[in-house]
Chain A
Amino acid sequence: MKAPAPSARRHVQTLWSWLWIVLGVLYFVVPLIATFDFSLRAKKDVLTFLAYGRIFTDAAFWRTFSFSLQMAFFAIVVSILLVVPTAYWIRLKLPRLRPMVEFVSMLPFVVPAIVLVFGLIRVFSGPPFRLTNTFAGTNVLLVAGYVVLALPYTYRAVDTGLGAIDVRTLTEAAQSLGAGWGTIMFKIIFPNLRVAILSGAFLTLATVIGEYTLATFIVGNKAFGPYMSLIGQNRTYESSSLAIISFLLTWAFMGLIQIFNRGRAEGHLAGAR
């Protein structure tokens, strides 16, 4: 009957929505297609995975990749051990300090990576620390830097996770059943924060694995990010295949977070540029 007006309006709205989605998807996909296409053209006039083969047989690729993986691993472990007990303790015993801890955990937003690394090098190359004089020392500094970069995301994920469980009641229940602090931490708090911790961990992994700014100034070409940069300066097709590999890695980590989070938009805001 007289129904068409609202439904026509809805059609226009849906069309308008699709228009923007298509535009965004094009922006997202075209560079990937172009890169993939380019990565297959290492030989004239044929499509080949040669560039990928060269990367995967490059010892430097595996060396730098596993180095960055190790750095990421340590950064994740340190982040969790640092953030979870702190956030828990703040909620339980020192709620007055919460704004302060929140503020501190947001500081890395204010200090860009390039500024952070500048300060880190200046402070820790001289006495009393002298961390930059040894390999172990530079690795420690890099891990610390990564923990700082990840801090805002890790803290927020953990704090949100703690907000979703009733920390005080759980703790009191555990205490009334005779549990000590260790048991409470490892048998109650950590398991209940599984989702938050895992998504924080994979987000850290995704940002740290190809990280360039901190790595190049602290450890140089030992890390994966600087390695990619080096390849980009000398080898055209291989750099495209590295971009695709790196993209797939990011995709895998983010996909895992998505699985843990079940479609919540929270928790995957980006890290270092």
Chain B
Amino acid sequence: MLLAPMSSRLNTETVGIKRDAPQARPDSSRWRNWLGVTPFFLFTFLFIVLPSAYLLVGAFRNNSTGQFTLGNFLGLFTPEILSAYWVTIRISAVTALGGGLLGFMMAYAVTVGGLPRWVRTTLLTFSGVAANFAGVPLAFAFIATLGRTGMVTVFLKTILGLDLYDQGFSLYSFWGLSFTYLYFQFPLMVLTITPALDGLKREWREAAENLGASTFQYWTRVALPILMPPILGAMILLFGNSFGAYATALSLTGGFINLVTIVIGSQIKGDILYNPGLGYALAVGMVVVMAMAMMIYFALRRRSERWLRQ
């Protein structure tokens, strides 16, 4: 019996250091080893780092004089550009929330919702397709669905007497674009959140029930708190996904919606209000938002991995 109190201390030292088998002899001092990864770093330097750095430097430089300036960033604070950021952020948030909710509920249905196995397989395949079905053809599909003569528009008008466009809806506006983005957003949610739902152990539910918890108590006190980091993480991924979208918005609205990507696009083309410095600043602004989103995403992912491993 004396063993018991001892054992509580016995293992404290070993906690946390038993991950990963010993990494056998990586002697990275030899230059030959570095040769093996040179092509990769050279490529990524040329085609990711250099272009980003170019934009970054350009954003801090006066176009005509070449001197350091913050003027380009001050140029972002015009109503036009601020509204572009605001609309882009709003549309990204709305589609991340909407797509997140729909995608989560569908993933819930096929993982713990008690549906037959084939529904899951089919849903995951469908989601793989839909998450990749974006850009120009997606815009065409939604024009045929919710455009002025689109099938759903006509259906609602003739059968239910509801004229969407009289009600102020337009496919080429904020909500129309949101509906369109949702088409690739919710499948992306299904794909990212399904593994997390699979990670919910049956024993957690049973342990909760065993301790007297109702289904509701299990979900609010155990399952949802455990799932919260991956859910938030996935929604941030969705946010980034619409934030950077360009082709879908352009082909749907013909460039008449004021999104950051669209503004950058016209800066590249150099057609309206051409001002390279401002373009660079716009691009840097986007990267900053995306980088923040990704940082939160990875922090959340680390937390949930810590919880779910073993």
A242 at the interface (CB under 8 A from B): yes
A247 at the interface (CB under 8 A from B): yes
Q: What per-residue 1/0 map shows which CB atoms of A19-42 lie under 8 Å from chain B?
A: 011011101101111110111000
Task: Tell me whether A148 and B125 are in contact in the complex, defined as CB-CB below 8 angstroms, given that A30-B152, A93-B33, A122-B58 are known contacts.
Answer: no
Task: Tell me whether A111 and B287 are in contact in the complex, defined as CB-CB below 8 angstroms, given that A34-B152, A82-B39, A255-B125 are known contacts.
Answer: yes
Q: Is the CB of A257 within 8 A of B140?
A: no
Within 8 A of A (CB), among B10-32: 23-24, 26-28
CB-contact partner of B102 in A20, A121, A269, under 8 A:
A20
Cα(A239)–Cα(B264), bound, Å: 26
Q: Is the CB of A212 within 8 A of B114?
A: no
Q: Is the CB of B241 within 8 A of A212?
A: no
B82 at the interface (CB under 8 A from A): no
Q: Please, how many residues of chain B have a CB less than 8 angstroms from a CB on the other chain?
A: 101
Main secondary structure of the interface of A (DSSP, over half): helix
Q: Is the CB of B124 within 8 A of A10?
A: no
Q: Is the CB of B47 within 8 A of A144?
A: yes
B121 at the interface (CB under 8 A from A): yes
Task: Tell me whether A148 and B47 are in contact in the complex, defined as CB-CB below 8 angstroms, given that A93-B28, A250-B132, A269-B131 are known contacts.
Answer: yes
Q: Is the CB of A110 within 8 A of B248?
A: no
Cα(A257)–Cα(B132), bound, Å: 13
Q: Please, how many residues of chain A have a CB less than 8 angstroms from a CB on the other chain?
A: 97
Cα(A250)–Cα(B133), bound, Å: 7
B172 at the interface (CB under 8 A from A): no
One of B1-9, B61-69, B181-189, B220-228 contacting the partner: B181-189
Q: Which residue of A lies closest to B106 (CB)?
A: A24
Cα(A105)–Cα(B151), bound, Å: 42
Residues in chain B within 8 A of chain A (CB atoms): 23-24, 26-28, 33-34, 36-37, 39-41, 43-44, 46-52, 54-55, 58, 102-103, 105-106, 108-110, 113-115, 119-121, 123-145, 150-152, 182-184, 186-188, 190-192, 194-195, 198, 215, 240-248, 250-251, 254, 261, 264-265, 267-269, 279, 283, 286-287, 290-291, 294
Residues in chain A within 8 A of chain B (CB atoms): 9-10, 13-14, 16-18, 20-21, 23-25, 27-28, 30-35, 37-39, 82-83, 85-86, 89-90, 92-97, 101, 104-123, 144-145, 147-148, 151, 168, 203, 206-207, 210-213, 217, 225, 228-229, 232-233, 239-240, 242-243, 246-247, 250-251, 253-255, 257-258, 263, 265-266, 268-273
